Structure 1
Amino acid sequence: MLVKLQLAAVVAALMLHQVSSSSSAPSSSSKKTAASSYAPVGFVPPASPTVVSSFRPKQQSGWPSAANHPARVRSQIARSVESQLFGRKKGGGVKTNKSSATSTSAPVTRNGKIQIKMLETVPRIGQAGDIIFVSSAVFQNQLQRQQKARLISAEEVAQIEKEKEADNQAQLEAAMATKQMIDDAMEAKPHDNEHSVCGIALEMKRRAGPEGSLFGGISPKMVMDALALTFPEGSWDGKQVKLTSVKDMDGQDVKKKDIKHLGDYLMSVSLGRDVEASFILSVSAE
């Protein structure tokens, strides 16, 4: 009985050992499946790194770059001026330039030039207040940038001409009134002479020597100042109002219009707007 039990134990141990060996060793089919699941891989080189930098090469300006080609510059200036003159607003209507705030329409153009009003005097272009035509390049690059001129419309030009005409008429009336004052003064003091001047309109007293030579003389400015004091209601302002002629009673011109001796003199003065008055100045000793 004991022997049978020992044999059974040996057989059981052998069977257990056989089962464990079979489970630990893989089968040939599993080996083939595992080998086929892994494909051979070749060498893959690493990717080159991407360099990120904020540096950007600056576009060099020069010739003959397409950005500053003369043809392109001219077209840009033309488009800019056209947009200023004839650009449309979103709500409709003509877009006017800010520098011509009083304009109600586009400025006048003629022969490729635009009409402007000078705000300051610019040599070889115009005086302050002049209304002239200049090229769009001169206006945009020089005058507008320096705020020395502005665009002006046809309506503004018409209004300025109307105001100028009214001012000229007022100056003419003032000049005629001043001439009438001088004529009335000559009629009050007639003078007998061979000239067309009928009387004395102005008298001045000066210190003089024994032979009638004046101390210091009488300049044209002194004569104009004396006229303004004698006829205070007259019009004596303006560049056109000035003494134009000084002659002695023989009709000879006085040198530099500077009176040096006592006596009577034929005087002519421009009162502006093509109005001239002639009278006699009497210079006597104090």
Structure 2
Amino acid sequence: MQITVSSGKGGVGKSSITASLLYLLGKDIELVAVDADADTPNLDILLNVKDWEGEEPLSGERVAVIDDNRCNGCGLCARHCPYECIERDGKVYRVNEDLCEGCNVCSIVCPHDFVIFFKETVPGVVKWGKTVYGFDLVSAQLFPGRPNSGKLVFKAKKLAESFDKDLIVVDAAAGIGCSVVASVNGSDIVVVVVEPTEVSLSDAKRLIKVLDHFGLKRVGVINKFDVHPGFVPVVEEFLKEADAEIIGYVPYDKNVVNAMLGGKPAVEIFPESPFSLAVKKVYENLKNFI
């Protein structure tokens, strides 16, 4: 079974909630966690992975290279490149490898032979290691400026499946990009974390469209509900219309910041804090879907 914790907007407290849920779930269920925020993975900090046990690169990716000695500067490759990663450099053209997706358009439109070729590149790696809580964490880690975060997350999830545990818990990136699509795809249930603000609600609506596309079951958690209580009914109505049962209301709690500074889930070091008590209720409600 796969549970994915997601949010349209970053900074709504998704990873803090995920870390605490993993701490609680790991006590009852054999699980493996996946940090699918390939651009900025940090779940290993909150879950205390001291040493990575292994690492696998995302291989087989290609970037285009233009031979300076054969290029005549016609510019067809640059005009047709869908990623706008080819620019003029004097009399010839060069490829910005940080933007190239290896789509092959440039070599197709080039009227000359042996001008454009491809070389393999490694855009990121998948690491795995054991947390201090006894369960394993698989982390997708994209190198700066590289593409294909979705493929990297897919690789991380396939690796997590090989651990053969009862439950996979995925901490998705914010937004609706490739890595998020790869994260939620195949989920049995998606936990949508929303805070009561116009911006968070707007981004959550975009996320729900992705979940609708894949026909995924979802539940909602309203985080920091007491920061803007007047807007909570608006979020509740949205989640109701999105067929997302609300499984918890989590208050704003400064102990969450202190827990992050300590590099631990808040529910572990501040078990009686308002945040922790609320997340425990989320955990109890979430178990009904497992």
After TM superposition, the score normalised by the length of structure 2 is 0.21
**Which structure would you say has the larger RCO, counting Cα contacts within 8 Å and 6 or more residues apart?**
2
> Whose strand fraction is larger, Structure 1's or Structure 2's?
2
Give 1 or 2 for the bigger CA radius of gyration: 1
After TM superposition, the score normalised by the length of structure 1 is 0.21
